[in-house]
Amino acid sequence: MNNDDVTGAAGTQPGPSEADHAWRLWQLSDLTTPWALRVVVTLGVADLLVDGPVDAALLAKRTGADSGALARLLRHLAARGVFFEVAPGLFELNDAARCLRAGHPSRMHEWLSMDGAAGRMDQAYAQLLSSVRTGGAAYAEMHGRSFYDDLEADPELHRSFDELMSQDSVDYGSMVDHLDWSGVRHVVDVGGGQGELLVYLLARHPHLRGSLFELAGTAEQAPALLATNGVSDRCEVVTGSFFDEVRPSGADTYLLASVLHNWNDSDATEILRRTAQAAGPGGRIVVFEGCVDDTTDQSWATHLDLKMLVLLGGRERTAEEFQDLARDAGLSVAGVTRTSRGPFALPFAVMELVVDDHS
């Protein structure tokens, strides 16, 4: 018997077997670990282990859980590399588990806790089949009302979501630093949350005046944030919907930061059109969006794309697709800058658009 009989004609190792593929599919499809992580975060277990190992019975008492079930949960996670079981029923943090503490820079706690907006969003994946069949959002199928209606109906849920989004606004800081603000006097952040991005901009450019345009519920905390950061004298809060009218009109620059991916093509075009109407002919609109291309790691892009579909009926797009939306809204593309955002360096694009004179 020669080597080719064992390793293949070219001397290479044989590829994965059918059993290997089946095992990988099982690992990809199994829901045990994803939900175990969400449960342990919701119970706040990682924060209870900061001073050293604690046994499952005491953890159960402090979290209101069943000690046997909690031990089994933690044992499963330890087997997956999250937590250490240093003795039977005795658990401690490892490097992975430390990321699950409240306030950790990774923000894993905030994204996984089922007590917050992110956890409620994740539950909508149970209705992914509906989204694939209809091409629209499935959040209402799970929770009885659309995503934004759900936020408006529950102030605590709204607060949780706003906190998640506030860090996203801070992450845009390095992107706006690359833009030329010397000739700009008035900037409007359309759908700008609680004003974090405007705070960043106004603090670095004392000549700028800002306007935050946002729904009333989201903008509720903005005045306090602006005052705390000493820019309230240069920034106004204007409430309304960008599907009705973007205000104020006539500013030098309008910002749209991670707004368009929340919406389908028709709605995204309408948002751009309304913003263009406010900016007027020759006006400037700057769009910050995650951007998919042939060089992008498709795993993050496809993940976010499905998430936008399930939650909102939105989608991730390529730079060319964004440019098509812009043209449909009466805008010309003045420039596209590739960059990255956040601790995971997600691929982003900064697109500078100009309102056509005939718009």
pTM for this prediction: 0.85
- Count of beta carbons in the 10 Å neighbourhood of residue 174: 13
* pLDDT value, residue 6: 44
* 54 neighbors 91 (Cβ within 8 angstroms): yes
Rounded Cα distance between 158 and 337, Å, is 32
Q: Can 158 be counted among the known catalytic residues?
A: no
Rounded Cα distance between 347 and 299, Å, is 12
* pLDDT value, residue 294: 61
Q: Is 31-109 assigned to CATH 3.40.50.11540?
A: no
Sequence ranges of the chain with CATH classification 3.40.50.150 = 169-293+314-355
Sequence ranges of the chain with CATH classification 1.10.10.10 = 31-109
DSSP codes joined into one string, 208-264: -EEEEEE-HHHHTTHHHHHHHTT-GGGEEEEE--TTT--SS-S-SEEEEES-GGGS-
Q: Which two tokens stand for residue 79?
A: 């087997």
Q: Which two tokens stand for residue 114?
A: 């089922």
If one looks up domain 169-293+314-355 in CATH, what number appears?
3.40.50.150
* pLDDT value, residue 163: 84
Mean pLDDT, the chain cut into blocks of 10 residues (359 residues total)? 48 83 93 97 98 98 98 98 98 98 93 94 96 96 95 91 76 80 96 92 96 92 94 97 96 96 97 98 94 70 92 93 95 87 70 86
Work out whether strand 284-292 and strand 317-318 pair parallel, antiparallel, or are unpaired: parallel
* 213 neighbors 222 (Cβ within 8 angstroms): no
Rounded Cα distance between 329 and 127, Å, is 33
Picking from 64, 290, 34, 267, the residue whose alpha carbon sits closest to that of residue 148 is 267
> Of the listed 158, 186, 261, 303, which one is catalytic?
261
DSSP codes joined into one string, 256-305: EES-GGGS-HHHHHHHHHHHHHHH-TT-EEEEEEEEE-TTS-HHHHHHHH
Orientation angle between helical segments 319-328 and 265-279, nearest 10 degrees: 60
DSSP codes joined into one string, 148-188: HHHHHH-HHHHHHHHHHHHHHHHHTHHHHTTS--TT--EEE
* pLDDT value, residue 359: 56
